[in-house]
Amino acid sequence: MSENCPEGRSKRQKIEDSSKYSIEVSNNQPNVAYEDSGIKLTTVEALPASENIDCVSLSSILSSENLIEMVQFNYMVELEFLMTNLPKSKQKIIPTTIVHGLSGESEKYLKVKLNRTHHTKAMLLFYANSTMRLIIHTANAIRRDWANKTQGVYMSPFLLKKRNIASSSEFESDFMEYLESYGDKLNIIRNKVKEYDFSTIKAILIASIPGYHVNEKLELFGHMRLRNILSRVTVPLSCKLDSTIICQFSSIGSLGKDEKWLIEEFAESLKYAKNQNQCSEPDIKLVYPTVENVSNSLEGWAAGNSLPFDHKNYLKQKHYMQKYLHKWKAIEAGRERAMPHIKTYSRMTMIPNSNNDNNLESKSSAEIAWLLLTSSNLSKAAWGALQKKDKQLMIRSYELGILTFPELFQNDEYTSVHMLNSTPQNLKPLLPSFNSPSKSTSSKKRNRPEEKNTLIIPIRLPYDLPLTPYNFKDGDECWTWNIPRTETDCLGLKKF
Residues placed in the known binding site: 121, 343
**Angle, CA of 297, 302 and 304, to the nearest 5°:** 75
Where in the sequence numbering do the catalytic residues fall?
119, 341
444: which residues sit within 8 A by CB, 6+ positions away? none
DSSP state of 175: H
Asked if residue 455 lies in contact with residue 328, where contact means CB atoms within 8 angstroms, the answer is: no
Asked if residue 201 lies in contact with residue 156, where contact means CB atoms within 8 angstroms, the answer is: yes
Asked if residue 369 lies in contact with residue 353, where contact means CB atoms within 8 angstroms, the answer is: no
- 205's enclosing H/E stretch is strand 204-208
| DSSP per-residue letters across 241-297 | SS-EEEEE-S-B----SSSIIIIIIIHHHHT--TTGGGSPPPEEEEE--BHHHHHTS
d(CA 263, CA 99): 33
Cα distance from N-terminal residue to C-terminal residue, the chain: 65
Q: Are strands 23-25 and 244-248 parallel, antiparallel or unpaired?
A: unpaired
d(CA 416, CA 450): 7
- What are the residues facing 378 on neighbouring strands? 252
Asked if residue 252 lies in contact with residue 379, where contact means CB atoms within 8 angstroms, the answer is: yes
Annotated binding-site residue numbers for substrate: 121, 343
d(CA 419, CA 316): 38
Asked if residue 265 lies in contact with residue 390, where contact means CB atoms within 8 angstroms, the answer is: no
